Structure 1
Amino acid sequence: MENLPTYVYLTFGATAICAIWLFYKATNYSKPFLLGLTGWIVIQSALALSGFYSNPSTLTMRFPLLIVPPLLFLVSRLLTKSGRAFLDSLDLPTLTIFHVIRIPVEIVLFWLFLSKAVPEAMTFHGRNFDILSGISAPFIYYFGLVKKKLSNAVMIAWNLICLGLLLNVVSAAILSLPVRFEQFGFEQPNIALGFFPFVLLPAVLVPLVLLSTAAAVKQLLK
């Protein structure tokens, strides 16, 4: 990771900042949510900078610490009355355009593949087509929410397809973790996600995409 070009760090950092700002906007500038998210980012960043996730022999075992807490938060939003109210309060247009962050994320993953830090399967050069979610988001936003030419059913279908594309790359990321990749035929272990700032991809960006999708589908179903 020492020889990674500076533009890779800068692109990912700018993408993370943009994603956080967009979701903060979607919450109607909720300070409690921003404070909670900031605290989570500080904790995971500190752990990554300390080398907690960078050892290939322990990354697989520690990886759940990045994704399980956000998943529990998402489940709590779906199962509790206050959580469902929070999802309903999110701004649907912003949640929709939020998916454009998936374009620079996919570009960064491709650069990481070229630097032998993630497997090809995690990129659009392999079996990851998640970039299509980001490319299509402005069109869904414009024709579905500005021009009102798309039905709720179409927008729900689009969100579910985007969810499927996300789960596809997440599965590749998990199966290619250092202790697992030899069992599944990946050509390169997934080591980048154990280093700062890329640790924020599973810890922050993926959960925010999941949360935005869950909230959008819930609102559209109503």
Structure 2
Amino acid sequence: MASSVVTYGILLLAVLVAILFFVGYRFATEAELRSRQERTSERVALKMSLVIFFGATWWSLGGTLASMGLLLDFDRRPPVMFLLVGFGVLSAVVLGVTSIGRAFAKWVPLSALVLSQSFRLPLELVMHRAQAEGVMPPQLSYSGMNFDILTGTFALLLGIWLVLGGAPRAVVWAWNLLGMGMLSMIAFIAIASTPQVAFFGSEPRFINSWVGHVPFVWLPTVLVPFAVFGHTVVTRALLSAGQRKRKDRVTRHYL
């Protein structure tokens, strides 16, 4: 039985990142429409309504499937959990590389994009508490093999650095690559901890089934996709900044 710290910690963090996404989307959409000298109020209202609808549907889908126990049925081929999480991560990448991600990368300050990933610091603290309570497998916390707490900690420090004066682009690149590497590592560990693989042992305490329950289902279906989307957008922002610098150098060369 998870404590209220673990239960409400995961829930509140999922709500927080959902709010951050909606606020960022509204800000980026309004800025994009203003740059085109288009009427913003009606268009923004329509786009926000659609995003909130699809977000609420996705949130409800994860909760419903978990409540029905379908996410704990790993005998299905393929398991519903794999399909759900895979679709969420793929959708995050698609959003990041399409016009939505472009608007985020163009209009949302890089400092805000980086700071938004600092949610991973409290998340890892909650996950550590979960493993201490026997709710989550130990290998998924920083006492085991998950060191994503570094990504969250550096996101907070780097974000503040960017706000105060601007960190070198190379430092942001290093953090972004670190974060993507940590995400890939924890994804591998999570898959290796499923009942089919049971790489760390077949004892219940080593099996990654806790995310098949509400509210923990929103960790792989909301928090992880938000992290993936964030890294995708930061990558686009860094690439765009590099392209602008190269164009400026070429322009100065021919002036």
**TM-score between the two structures when normalised by the length of structure 1:** 0.87
179, 185, 196: which one aligns with 2:200:
185
114, 124, 143: which one aligns with 1:125:
143
Q: What's 2:191 paired with? A: 174
Amino acid at match of 2:185: N
Q: What's 2:8 paired with? A: 10
Aligned length: 216
Gaps of 5+ in 1: none
The question of whether the paired residues in 2 share the 8 Å contact of 1:118 and 1:190 is answered with yes
For residues 177 and 18 of structure 1, the distance between their equivalents in structure 2, rounded to whole angstroms, comes to 28
Q: Secondary structure at the match of 1:100?
A: helix
CA change 1:59–1:137 in 2 (3 A) is: farther
1:202 aligns with 2:220: yes
The question of whether the paired residues in 2 share the 8 Å contact of 1:103 and 1:134 is answered with yes
Instruction: Kindly report the root-mean-square deviation, in angstroms, between the aligned alpha carbons of the 2 structures.
Output: 2.2
1:221 aligns with 2:236: no
CA shift for structure 1 position 123: 0.4
Q: What's 1:102 paired with? A: 120
Pairing 1:1-222 to 2, within 5 Å after superposition: 3-28=1-26, 31=48, 32-55=50-73, 57-58=75-76, 61-77=79-95, 80=98, 82-89=99-106, 91=108, 92-148=110-166, 150-181=167-198, 184-186=199-201, 188-222=206-240
Amino acid at match of 2:20: L
Amino acid at match of 1:47: L
Gaps of 5+ in 2: 28-46, 241-255
CA change 1:75–1:98 in 2 (3 A) is: closer
Amino acid at match of 2:21: F
Identity fraction in percent:
26
CA shift for structure 1 position 77: 3.5
